[in-house]
Amino acid sequence: MTTQTAQSTATRDGDPDTTGDEVITLDQSTGDELARYRAAGPEQVGAAVQVARTAAGPWWDLGFDGRAVRLRAWRREIARGGEDLAALIHAENGKSLEDGRAEVLSVLGHLTFVLDNVERVLGRREIPAPAAMPHQRAWVEHLPYGVVGVIGPWNFPLGTPGAIVIHALAAGNAVILKPSPITPGVGVWLARSWRRAVPDLPGAFQTVVGFAATGRHLTTGVDKVAFTGSVRSGRAVAADCAARLTPALLELGGNDAVVVAQDADLDSAAAHITWGALQNAGLGCISLEVAYVVDAVHDTLVEKIAAHAGRVHAGSGDDDLIGPVPLPAQIPVIRHHVADALRRGATAVVGRPADGGTDDRYVQPTILVDVPPDALAATEETFGPVLAIVRVRDTEEAITRINASPYGLGSAVFSRDRGEDIARRLRVGMTSVNDALAFSQNAGLPFGGRGHSGHGRKHGDEGLLEFVYPHAITVHTGPTPTPTTTFARPPGAMARALAAARDRLDADDQTERN
Ligand code: NAD
């Protein structure tokens, strides 16, 4: 079938050895070829980095106000072209048009967030002088790295790399995006819209298309890398960056868990958990993959989740809530995780995983119960429309299992009275209480993980701070009674200062004890 031939070039994506001169994209609804792009080699990537370097200085020199004018113009351009962009996401990725529109709205939200907040977060901050240095005036400024390389995945082809590009630009960097070879058109569209909106500095944001090899060329030339993708590729990127001491933001995979306590509102929990697990065909780094449900409410909740999930069908029709899995290499992984759970005694209350149907790109939802906690579906990223439900004694067991995971990206907790307490004990980057994935819809909240889920943050104030380094400045403004930074320091000055500090701390302790 031509579909598989065309896509076979993309299935090997993530393998650092993959090379190819051409990236061929498919319309995921029809399987027909959509477009062809020349894959950028080292020369093209090097040229893009040079263009970015030339633009980086003038972009920074514009200051917050000058950059804001241009970011506003870009926001208008994206909003006007939003329907085209959503259609392109639908075609390249296969998700519904409505989900494509949600990605457009998400980047518009991130643009608004940076426009409203960048100066507050990155503007000059005065620092009070210490008592011993009254003659110094000090402050912190934030300098951009220069050129940032953003490497993106295909599952949220606009929302995921788009938010990072926006933060890096707002922080004063020039940016080059290398989108996934499954969804390069979205990246190309973004760069074109930038050139229309910001004709005086087109080089401040560019897109280069290609496979992993193109991404590797990019990591070698830039001042900071922001990578989003699998744990396996993340390790390779981190190793490349380590060799050059290039800082890297790593947004990697997850195995997000949900805790359901005895006092949860089960109707609401079932609706949110089903959506959190199956939206976007479960192809989200923060998709809920494993539900730890306390024994007392387990059976009732399973019934409710099964009722919701039974109404979700994968297809490309107007009524289909989820689309295909556009990465063929992912399909055997999903099947393997489901088969492993079934072999270990789990049951599928929704889904007939062995039945691939006529087109196996459409993976139908599977809800697994009585999943042993050490099954792959419960411990590893399945990245598909599958939820593994694990019965637990109590919420303590759920917390212990989540905190023992090598991943630590998002999570959810359902409990009427103890939701916040449970949430605060989870060692993860993000938690929604009595909701699913809600943290991802607030542009002000930082997004990222720990352990195998990566490090660094996008979104929120932290997402802006990710793309700058602090420059601390202190200015000698006048004479000082006790010089501390020349050899004119009086003999015994430090001994007297140390004794005074000790007496002061002793007095403070004494006051606290009384
Ligand atoms: P992937 O790792 O296969 O590819 C991601 C991108 O990295 C692609 O553009 C690819 O060409 C490039 N790449 C691969 N190897 C590279 C290398 N050695 N050097 C430079 N670039 C390289 O991932 P994918 O299949 O596109 O995306 C799915 C994965 O991304 C899932 O694991 C998902 O959980 C994760 N993800 C994480 C987040 C997050 O914010 N944490 C968001 C979305 C997706």
Position 67 scores a pLDDT of 98
* Residue 439 CB less than 6 A away from ligand 1: no
CB 205 within 8 A of CB 107: no
Give per-residue pLDDT as tens, 234-268.
Answer: 999 999 999 999 999 999 999 999 999 999 999 99
Q: Is 114 exposed, middle or buried (0-12, 13-18, 19+ CB in 10 A)?
A: buried
Distance CA 322, CA 251 (A): 24
Q: Is 322 exposed, middle or buried (0-12, 13-18, 19+ CB in 10 A)?
A: buried
Q: What is the mean pLDDT of residues 70-97?
A: 98
| Identity of the residue numbered 240 | D
Atom of ligand 1 nearest to the CA of 231: 32
438: pLDDT strictly greater than 90: yes
- The neighbour count for residue 404, using CB atoms within 10 Å, is 10
Structure tokens at 368: 């697994």
Higher-confidence residue of 199 and 5: namely 199
Residue that the structure tokens 């015994």 belong to:
492
Atom of ligand 1 nearest to the CA of 180: 9
List b or e across 151-172, with b for residues whose CB sees 16 or more CB atoms inside 10 angstroms: bbbbbbbbbbbbbbbbbbbbbb
Position 148 scores a pLDDT of 99
Position 19 scores a pLDDT of 67
120: pLDDT strictly greater than 50: yes
Position 2 scores a pLDDT of 31
- φ/ψ region of 153 (left if φ > 0, alpha if ψ in -120 to 50, else beta) reads beta
Mutate to test the pocket of ligand 1, among 25, 95, 228, 409 (most ligand atoms within 8 A of CB): 228
Structure tokens at 288: 């809920």
Atom of ligand 1 nearest to the CA of 453: 41
* Residue 253 CB less than 6 A away from ligand 1: yes
The overall average pLDDT reported for the chain is 94
Share of the chain above pLDDT 90, in %: 89
Residue 251 appears among annotated catalytic residues: yes
Give per-residue pLDDT as tens, 379-420.
Answer: 999 999 999 999 999 999 999 999 999 999 999 999 999 999
Residue 229 confidence class, pLDDT cut points 50, 70, 90 = very high
Q: What is the mean pLDDT of residues 430-444?
A: 98
DSSP reduced 3-state for 411: strand
DSSP reduced 3-state for 391: strand
CB 141 within 8 A of CB 471: yes
Catalytic residue among 77, 103, 241, 285: 285
CB 448 within 8 A of CB 297: no
Report CA(386)–ligand 1 centroid distance (Å): 20
Position 465 scores a pLDDT of 98
Residue 285 appears among annotated catalytic residues: yes
The C-alpha R_g of the chain, in whole angstroms, comes to: 26
Position 168 scores a pLDDT of 99
Residue nearest atom 16 in ligand 1 by C-alpha distance:
212
Position 302 scores a pLDDT of 98
Higher-confidence residue of 460 and 487: namely 460
157: pLDDT strictly greater than 90: yes
Position 17 scores a pLDDT of 54
Residue 14 confidence class, pLDDT cut points 50, 70, 90 = very low
323: pLDDT strictly greater than 60: yes
Share of the chain above pLDDT 70, in %: 95
Report CA(223)–ligand 1 centroid distance (Å): 20
Task: Compute the residue count for the chain.
Answer: 514
Q: What is the mean pLDDT of residues 28-33?
A: 92
4: pLDDT strictly greater than 80: no
Position 358 scores a pLDDT of 56
* Residue 173 CB less than 6 A away from ligand 1: no
* Residue 233 CB less than 6 A away from ligand 1: yes
Distance CA 507, CA 512 (A): 9
Atom of ligand 1 nearest to the CA of 153: 26
Residue that the structure tokens 């990245």 belong to:
383
Structure tokens at 350: 């929704």
Q: Strand ranges (DSSP E) for 202-333?
A: 205-207, 224-228, 248-251, 256-260, 288-294
Residue 497 confidence class, pLDDT cut points 50, 70, 90 = confident
- φ/ψ region of 392 (left if φ > 0, alpha if ψ in -120 to 50, else beta) reads beta
Report CA(401)–ligand 1 centroid distance (Å): 26
Residue 32 confidence class, pLDDT cut points 50, 70, 90 = very high
Give per-residue pLDDT as tens, 447-462.
Answer: 999 999 999 999 999 9
Position 18 scores a pLDDT of 60
Higher-confidence residue of 355 and 158: namely 158
Position 480 scores a pLDDT of 82
Catalytic residue among 103, 251, 380, 381: 251
- The neighbour count for residue 433, using CB atoms within 10 Å, is 19
CA within 13 Å, CB half, 280: 23
Q: What is the mean pLDDT of residues 340-350?
A: 97
Report CA(141)–ligand 1 centroid distance (Å): 32
Distance CA 225, CA 150 (A): 6
Distance CA 350, CA 447 (A): 31
Residue 353 confidence class, pLDDT cut points 50, 70, 90 = low
Give per-residue pLDDT as tens, 172-224.
Answer: 999 999 999 999 999 999 999 999 999 999 999 999 999 999 999 999 999 99
Q: In 3D, which of 399, 271, 383 has the Cα closest to residue 325? A: 383
43: pLDDT strictly greater than 70: yes
* Residue 219 CB less than 6 A away from ligand 1: yes
Atom of ligand 1 nearest to the CA of 327: 25
Report CA(152)–ligand 1 centroid distance (Å): 6
Q: In 3D, which of 320, 456, 279 has the Cα closest to residue 29? A: 320
